[in-house]
Structures are given as structure tokens and as C-alpha cells.
Amino acid sequence: MRILGIETSCDETGIAVYDSELGLLSHTLFSQVGIHAEFGGVVPELASRDHVRKTIPLIKAALLEANCSAADIHGVAYTAGPGLIGALLVGAMVGQSIGFAWNVPAIPVHHMEGHLLAPMLEKGAPAFPFLALLVSGGHTQLIKVEKIGSYEILGESLDDAVGEAFDKTAKLLGLGYPGGAALAALAEKGRSDRFYFPRPMIDRPGLDFSFSGIKTFAVNAVARAGNDEATRADIARAFQDAVVETLTIKCRRALELTGLKRLVVAGGVGANLALRENLKIMTAKNNAEVYFPRHEFCTDNGAMIAYAGCQRLLAGHKNNLSVKVHPRWEMQAIEA
């Protein structure tokens, strides 16, 4: 089965062709970062308009790269939520229209399910069941995954998502938007023994997170110590150390509580090297294994949507021709 995947939930247009036998045949991506940078965040209307411009040309490019035509495609998968409503509507309209024109099913996909299944695109993909740490710009969740479609949220952030905390702290340090990767690069140059930021909620039982307080520590540190290059690097380091250790402690606790031995990390913050390193060490000590998608499939992409849509079609999901998107959408509400 060969599926065209369309991702337009936020500020990246991602298109891919995935084949259930041969694997990923092509993927293309256009990032709108340059369009939104001057506004310090994503401008929804500009995002929708650019998806309108890019989606069809990128689909053509992905088909060409996969060396296939419309006749070779058995279904179209598009992100139906969560995300920006206008941006989602572009992908949904294009997906449903292509499905109708090519007479193949068009399948709505949950964006976070896409992220969660992204490690399945790699060689040596994890077997079910597993624990998933989803860390993106809008979500921080620990999820027990029994099988595709069976997702139990064990814990989540009560306030800011990790990616959001990275982005806000990066902005404070003058690193632009989205600044997660830039903050991580700056942290590499910083000292870990100059500032100490708290590890929120680790002494409370349970698996929930809170990241809005760490940001306040960054604000106070800047006010106290100044904003020279070395200080900014030390603050970035203290912030990243605190976030990484907090996530690692909660992952270890979740593995212990569930008895699971496989941990899957997904979402944009999964690209963070310090987080990857710490989770590798922690899982090795606990006789568990950790799985990551390749760097480019941590952040938004079409490949994860094509993969998730393919699994849904293989599981017998049908098309209903309605263009319905869900700006807010709980993962537990997905049909199994």
C-alpha cells in the first residue's frame, strides 16, 4: 500500500510518499521560519496562505522523487489536528480533493500520533508495547502505547510545554523564534556550575510536569547577572540541565511504574542532544532501550503523517469525505 502524506498543522509544509512494503520513498519540506521570524512567533494567517502556495508544488516534487504517479497512490493522509485551524484546513481540503479526484481514500491523522509513530520509520523500530515521551512546541506527555490507536496518557504538563519553555527562554536570551535549537547550541558553551535552576515537581508523586517556573528563574538570572555572552550561555546551560534532568527523572519513574522496557522519544525537543544522551544513559542503567526518530523526523514532517495514515488504512479505516479539522484534539479520543 502506497500513501501520500500531507502535514500543514503549523509552520511547516511537509509532504511524503510511504510504501508499506518498501518504506519511505520520498519526503519534502518547506519551513516557514523565515516568514514568521520578524514577528517573533507564528502568524496563523500567514501560515495558511503559505501552505496554499506550497502544498501542491511539494506534492508534485514528492511524487517525482518517489518515481510514481497518481495511479500508484492508494490513499492520502493529512493532518486533521491539533494545530492552527486555517493551516489544518489547507491540508484537509487538498487531501480530500486529491482523494476524490484520484478515487482513493483520504484519511485524517492526529498530528501527535504522527510524532509518536515517527520512530517506526527507522530501522530497528520498537515493538509494542512501549512508553512514549512526546515533547513538542505544544505538548509534553508521557503515554503508554499498547498498540497503534491505544494511547493512555500517564502524565502531562500542567502549564507550558517543554518546547514552549525552550522558545520563551530563547527569546529572553535574544535567540529569535523558534529558539529551541539555538538555545541548545548556546548551552553547549555554558558552564553547569554557575546557576542552578529547580527540577519542578520531581519530589511529588505522579508523572505530571510543570515548566513555566523554570522560565521565571531564567528571567531572574538575567536580571541579577546581566546579559553578556558568557552569562547567557551559562543561563542556557542551567535551563537545559534542569529540563533534561526533570524529563529523565519522570521517564525513569514511568518505566518503573509501568514495567515497560522500551522508551520512544518524539516531537521537536526530541532533537535535543543533551536529552538524547541523558535518556540513553538512564535507560542503559535500567535495562531498558530508548528509540528516537532521525533528527529531521523529530520536528514536523510529512513522513510521519504518511506512515500513521498507512497504518490506519491497513487497520480498515474508511474515508467519509467530510473536511473536518480539530484545532484541539485529545489523543485518547482517536478511534482505535
Rounded to whole angstroms, the Cα distance separating 209 from 201 reads 6
- Binding to Zn ion by residue 113, rule CB under 5 A? no
Closest among 14, 46, 8, 41 to 27, alpha carbons compared: 14
The nearer residue to Zn ion, 62 or 84, going by C-beta atoms, is 84
Whether the Cβ atoms of residue 169 and residue 175 lie closer than 8 Å to each other: no
- Binding to Zn ion by residue 136, rule CB under 5 A? yes
The nearer residue to Zn ion, 136 or 141, going by C-beta atoms, is 136
- Binding to Zn ion by residue 8, rule CB under 5 A? no
The nearer residue to ligand KG4, 99 or 268, going by C-beta atoms, is 268
Q: Least distance (Å) from ligand KG4 to the CB of residue 92? A: 17
Q: Least distance (Å) from ligand KG4 to the CB of residue 161? A: 7
- Partner whose footprint covers residue 235, from Zn ion, ligand KG4, none (CB < 5 to 8 Å by kind): none
- Partner whose footprint covers residue 114, from ligand KG4, Zn ion, none (CB < 5 to 8 Å by kind): none
- Partner whose footprint covers residue 272, from ligand KG4, Zn ion, none (CB < 5 to 8 Å by kind): ligand KG4
Whether the Cβ atoms of residue 36 and residue 42 lie closer than 8 Å to each other: yes
- The residue length of the chain stands at 336
Q: What is the DSSP string of 65-97?
A: HTT--GGG--EEEEEEESS-HHHHHHHHHHHHH
Q: Least distance (Å) from ligand KG4 to the CB of residue 103? A: 32
- Partner whose footprint covers residue 163, from Zn ion, ligand KG4, none (CB < 5 to 8 Å by kind): ligand KG4
Whether the Cβ atoms of residue 308 and residue 24 lie closer than 8 Å to each other: no
- Partner whose footprint covers residue 184, from ligand KG4, Zn ion, none (CB < 5 to 8 Å by kind): ligand KG4
The nearer residue to Zn ion, 285 or 328, going by C-beta atoms, is 328
- Partner whose footprint covers residue 181, from Zn ion, ligand KG4, none (CB < 5 to 8 Å by kind): ligand KG4
Q: Least distance (Å) from Zn ion to the CB of residue 7? A: 8
Cβ burial, residue 320 (10 Å; 0-12/13-18/19+): exposed
Contact residues for ligand KG4, defined by CB under 6 A: 115, 136-138, 163, 166-167, 178, 180-181, 184, 267-269, 271-272, 299-300
Whether the Cβ atoms of residue 308 and residue 77 lie closer than 8 Å to each other: yes
| Residue 320 vs residues 38, 99, 108: alpha-carbon distances, Å | 40, 11, 10
Quote the cell numbers at residue 121. Answer: 520509520
- Binding to Zn ion by residue 300, rule CB under 5 A? yes
Q: Least distance (Å) from ligand KG4 to the CB of residue 24? A: 18
Give the per-residue SS3 of 194-224: CCCCCCCCCCCCCCCECCHHHHHHHHHHHHH
